[in-house]
Amino acid sequence: MADALFGPRHFLPVSTAKRKLFTALLIGFGLMFLNPRGVSAADIAVLEFELNDLTLNPDMAAETQRTANLRPLLVKRLTEYHQVAVIENPARALIEAEKGHGYLFDRPELAAEIGREGGAAWIVSGRLHKASFLFVYLKAQLINTRTGRVAADFVVEIKGQQEKLTHKGIETLARQISDALRELAEDNASATHHPEIPPGTTA
């Protein structure tokens, strides 16, 4: 009936190249839907946390163990609750960390090199800062591995020594890192789509 009214319908052949392009676009949009920040924008590395205990008569064994647990807790929280892809650190990360107390935390440009070596866009350098027996601070830096600059600083206060409080602190830190990554990705996308026009020129 339709053919009688409008004539025979003709479909233009779709080239193989166009079909491949269309398929690639569908896959790309699907991945972006699953991860709003993009496929690789959230790929980060997380260094082992460093202990900075300023208290008198510190319990080094207990605090060292507490510090060693921070990276696994943070990685777990980022990956499972915030869908952030965390890569494994290259062997160089431990080699550089052993050069001295606070060596990597005080050298973001070096941390950035380690992140680039591992293939990460961002790297987190962290420190457990204990100035009192009553509370500690989780300090972290989000570093751009391309520029070596600190893009965001984080400080989370933990009052008390209980393990559950440490978990709460890590939850807060993970959320802050995830939010910062999202904001940085949005800023980058905005700059890409709306580049600044140099003075004296017209759009």
CB atoms within 10 A of CB 81: 12
What percent of the chain is predicted at pLDDT more than 70? 73
In this structure, are strands 122-130 and 44-46 parallel, antiparallel, or unpaired? parallel
- The yes-or-no verdict on residue 77 having pLDDT over 90 is yes
Interatomic CA distance for residues 51 and 126, integer angstroms: 9
The dihedral sign for the CA sequence 116, 119, 123, 128: negative
Q: Would you identify the CATH topology of the domain 46-187? A: Rossmann fold (3.40.50)
What percent of the chain is predicted at pLDDT more than 90? 61
- The yes-or-no verdict on residue 42 having pLDDT over 60 is no
Q: Residue 164's pLDDT band (boundaries 50, 70, 90)? A: confident
For the chain, the average pLDDT equals 82
- The yes-or-no verdict on residue 143 having pLDDT over 70 is yes
Interatomic CA distance for residues 185 and 202, integer angstroms: 27
First to last CA, the chain: 53
- The yes-or-no verdict on residue 6 having pLDDT over 70 is no
pTM: 0.74
Interatomic CA distance for residues 40 and 84, integer angstroms: 10
Query: Rounded mean pLDDT of 105-120?
Result: 97
| pLDDT value, residue 158 | 94
SS3 at position 82 = coil
